[in-house]
Amino acid sequence: MKNNHIAVAGSILVDEINAVCAYPKEGELTKIISVSKAVGGCVPNVAVDLKKIMPELKVSALGKIGDDENGIFVKGVLRNSGVNTDMLVSSKDKTSFTQVISVSGGQRTFFTYPGASAGFGYDDIDLDDIDADILHLGYFLLLQKIDGGDGLIILKKAKQKGIETSIDLVSENSDRYKCVLPCLPFTDYLIINELEAGRLTGLSPDIKNIPEIAEKLLKLGVNQKVIIHFPEGSVCADKSGEITTLGSYKLPDGYIKGTTGAGDAFCAGCLIGINSGLNDGKILEYGTLCAAMALSSEDAVSGMTDINTAYDKCHDFERNKLCL
């Protein structure tokens, strides 16, 4: 029986966003146009997006924050968004934070302080108190204890309790992706970008290779679906052998205010579709709609709307045509 409940666990931080005209070269100076503060990390981004997309859904946040001003800020944003914060735990360390350098309409650069989230692990979760349909755990490759084996334990225990599991990663240019591979047999839904998917499989993340990469990830153990998103679109490979593709929206000039949180928004949209029992095409459509909403604001969550409003806003946009 569905509880209409998704729990989001893992990285929690505060984004201190500095918008600039252009990113400077080494030794150069650039002017900061604006400074703002927003929640960041997997838990706030995905959890707040889930509540905005489907307000009636129960969403719980699981993670570790500091007993400081940023910790109070994060908890306040989550509660004001309707997210259950009862399972957050406090740390003596500072709340994790990231200095974001954001070029308007372009890419962003991150300087992060690991903080309290780095110590988040299995001992901080009481799975007996979680009645969620899905437990989403992220970000692997950013959380020391999760990468060190606690992530695998959490996923195993969740599966034993009958909770479906979902994970995502951060993009890192390293050989540490191998620590994620043992987790795949205990993962129902793997939702990642093409660079991460390529690193996990050792295959080139060219668009034409995405279906093959997705199928290989299923063979590596993912139980139900592998969903890979990339700028031009997305692919879903189902355990049944079906491959579904969808082009992303061609957004008009000036629409994109920032790319922070777009991947998390795509993930949230997909989780809503999965939990609602939608087919793979609709799951990708929800993810694409939500990513488009996230791109309309500089921070990770301000642009998100309910799914019907997202449909209305994107109704007249054309889609990229994928040749896979």
- pLDDT at residue number 299: 80
| pLDDT in single tens digits along all 324 residues of the chain | 688 999 999 999 998 888 898 888 999 999 999 998 889 899 999 999 999 999 999 999 999 999 999 999 999 999 999 999 999 999 999 999 989 888 876 677 888 899 999 999 999 999 988 999 999 999 999 999 999 999 999 999 999 999 999 999 999 888 999 999 999 999 999 999 999 999 999 999 999 999 999 999 999 999 999 999 999 999 999 999 999 999 999 999 999 988 888 999 999 999 999 999 999 999 999 999 999 999 999 788 999 999 999 999 999 999 999 877
pTM for this entry: 0.92
Helix (H, G, I), strand (E, B) or coil at 279: coil
- CB neighbour burial string for 8-25, b if at least 16 within 10 angstroms, e if fewer: bbbbbbbbbbbbbeeeee
For the chain, give every domain's residue range: 5-314
**Is-contact 11 63, C-beta < 8 A?**
yes
- Domain spanning 5-314: which superfamily? Ribokinase (3.40.1190.20)
- pLDDT at residue number 274: 98
Here the tokens at position 264 are 């998390």
CA distances from 27 to 23, 24, 91, 112 (A): 11, 8, 37, 21
End-to-end CA distance of the chain: 37
- pLDDT at residue number 8: 98
- pLDDT at residue number 266: 98
